[in-house]
Chains A and B, each alone.
Chain A
Amino acid sequence: MAGSFINITLKVWRQSIPDTQKEMGKGKFETYRAENIPTETSFLEMLDIVNNNLVKKEKNL
């Protein structure tokens, strides 16, 4: 279905450092909106779009 767009709500697990044996990395779910995503885009490409929009908005994610 070339030429159509969809909106998606994503719940993304964010965690900046890995869990270690001593400590949990303290991650949490955050909600993002992926808007106007062309339907021919793959799931990972959709995440690229979301990421790139975030990068453009803020210096430190």
Chain B
Amino acid sequence: MRLDSKIPDGPIEKKWERHKFNLNLVSPTNKRRYTILVVGTGLAEASAAASLSELGYKVIAFCIQDSPRMGHSIAAQGGINAAKNYSNDGDSVWRLFYDTVKGGDYRSREANVYRLAELSNKIIDHAVAQGIPFSREYSGYLHNRSFGGALVSRTFYVRGQTGQQLLLGAYGQPSREIKRGGVVLLTRREMLDLVLIEGKARGIIVRNLVNGNIESYTGDAVMLATGGYGNVYYLSTNAKASNCSAIWRAYKKGDAFANPAFVQIHPTCIPVHGEYQSKLTLMSESIGNDGRVWVPRNQDDKRDPNDIPEEDRDYYLERRYARFGNLVPLDVASRAAKQICDEGRGVGSTGLAVYLDFADAINREGRKTIEERYGNLFEMYEQITGVDPYREPMMIYPAVHYTMGGLWVDYDLMSSIPGLYIIGEANFSDHGANRLGASALMQALADGYFILPNTIGDYLVEIVPGAARIEHSSFKEAEKYSTRRISDLLSLNGKKIVEEFHRELGKIMWDKVGISRNKEGLKKALEEIPLLGERFWKEARVVGSGDCLNSILEKANRMADFLKLGELMALDALKRDESCGCHFREEHQTLDGKARRDDSRYAHVSIWDYNGPAKTASLYKEKISFEYIKPEQRSYK
């Protein structure tokens, strides 16, 4: 397996510039001879497709939705980080680098994170040039707010709709390229398989979701930007169409999967209600700038929140973390909420919620200001819960939100399969064991606008363009496999619908591979998930046919992969016998309940290699070493 991280030599501030200079370039007139297949149309893909096409490459983009404007990135609310230091509060590229490495609990590569921090400023310039309507001060300067894990304000935002606005901007660029003929956009296509010829990524198989056709496409390189796999838990803040199938099928073709167990659980989501709930809704972390988290001091206190006086409230984050208060990193806030609820001090009808109160901010700043900052979020909250958060505290509870794990990539964002690039949330690259809020958009756009367009040429220059043919036996085999898979799924004639299995899987994952994990639970999960998988293939019911739109078939197809990925996540969590970031192993905690890392044994990326359905995957390790930042016990007190 090709696992050279290709981190360039030299001082960290010079690595990226030097590396770019050392990369081979494809000449401007040759670029049009190369075709790049790009899959999954969120921010990472939109930014890459536009940039590649503007460089002169031919791009074919595959979109699972009706339009790339519905890509999952549209959901992002709170903002995007950059080290501009507009707030004049001591920020710098170095500080963003430091905060990100520390926030990730020292499980990410220094060189990658430094580059990300360095590129962050260019993203803002680029987005402003596109006309993204970032929030501004009265003076006209861009306004910043704070996000967790940082003592500076470096988050740029468009109300609570940052992802949507960035996506519209990013998608405007490929739209122009579509018109020009540089990008061919194929909508309602779901990738089913990756095709390798002589070990290199040379094409993909997709299903046309409207007529069911299995289609083959050849390219000189393939890029996956298919997002995260949080939906393995069934309930998450991710869009319903977000799934793991593209990266999972690549993994089955021999691509390396890194840190699958690193999953972020976001503290500020609307609590679960009722058994039919299909997804969870995030209330952006940005509201921590003005909201205060609390529960009643006394667990039997059943008064309305507004009737509970100050002295009977426990602002537990402010009490425990005086310096960061309500803006501790996401993993710390989530665990604190779970602990409080486990102690029986949770609120609401299920006891699985804590209050997030804006009364002080409204008194201090006035309702109008709060409305300007979070108006759409407050409205969304009221529509979902029927409670007006301007009058009564919100109720929130942690929910699965983001996956730091993903396909392994080197410094060039190439995976272990030559010619296969992974960008955005789908890769494992920059966030270690915990992502800081507002850093995912930054990474998706750094990958798509600035990194991949520079690095891909170095690979392509060695490739004969257009050499792959769909008549090749690898394509025929992959088509056959995909066709058989669809017919196997269609033949499922049991009594249970797919969602019932998905909910069951979600429950196992949430209980045993969720906010906190232990050896016994993980072993149990490793017994339960395969049994659930067996039952799925016997008892599930898939109706309709394969030659038309069939959402039940689509769900079943994704579900079969989630089952397998869930197992790998549990295995990875079991083998990482330490706590770090979001991966909290109950056996490894400090006296005050913090994650205790074990750098001597686990300062590495865990990389899994598929060994076929009957054998356990093999584990490889990429050592993480620190030259510039000294790993220490994270403290946000």
Interface residues of A (CB under 8 A from B): 1-2, 16-18, 38, 40-42, 44-45, 48-49, 52, 55-56, 58-61
Contacts and interface: CB of A to CB of B under 8 A. Distances in A.
A17 B549 CA distance: 8
Nearest to A49: B276
B276 A41 contact: yes
A48 B500 CA distance: 12
Contacts of B349: 2
Contact of A48 (B210, B499, B541): B499
5 contacts: A2-B273, A17-B548, A55-B541, A59-B543, A61-B544
A14 B548 CA distance: 13
Contact of A56 (B210, B273, B276, B541): B541
Contacts of A2: 273-274, 349
Interface string B364-390: 000000000000000000001010000
A60 B545 contact: yes
B635 interface: no
Interface string B334-367: 0000000000000001000000000000000000
B548 A55 contact: no
B552 interface: yes
A57 B497 CA distance: 11
Contacts, number: 43
Highest count of chain A CB atoms <10 Å: which of B273, B276, B548: B276
A60 B548 CA distance: 13
B495 interface: yes
A41 B580 CA distance: 37
B497 A18 contact: no
A34 to B, nearest CB: 11
Nearest to B273: A40
B277 A56 contact: no
A47 B273 CA distance: 17
B278 A44 contact: yes
Contacts of A49: 276
A40 B274 contact: yes
Given A40-B273, A40-B274, A41-B276, A56 B497 contact: yes
B236 to A, nearest CB: 15
Q: Which of A1, A18, A49, A55 has its CB near the most chain B CB atoms (within 10 A)?
A: A55
Contacts of B386: 1
B562 to A, nearest CB: 18
A45 B543 contact: no
A42 B385 CA distance: 10
B130 interface: no
Nearest to A58: B543
Closest 6 CB pairs of A and B: A40-B274, A40-B273, A52-B497, A45-B276, A45-B278, A38-B274
Given A1-B386, A41-B274, A45-B276, 8 more contacts: A38-B274, A38-B275, A41-B277, A45-B278, A55-B541, A55-B552, A59-B493, A61-B544
Contacts of A56: 495, 497, 541
Contacts of A45: 276-278
A59 B493 CA distance: 8
A12 to B, nearest CB: 14
A18 B210 contact: yes
Interface string B547-590: 01100100000000000000000000000000000000000000
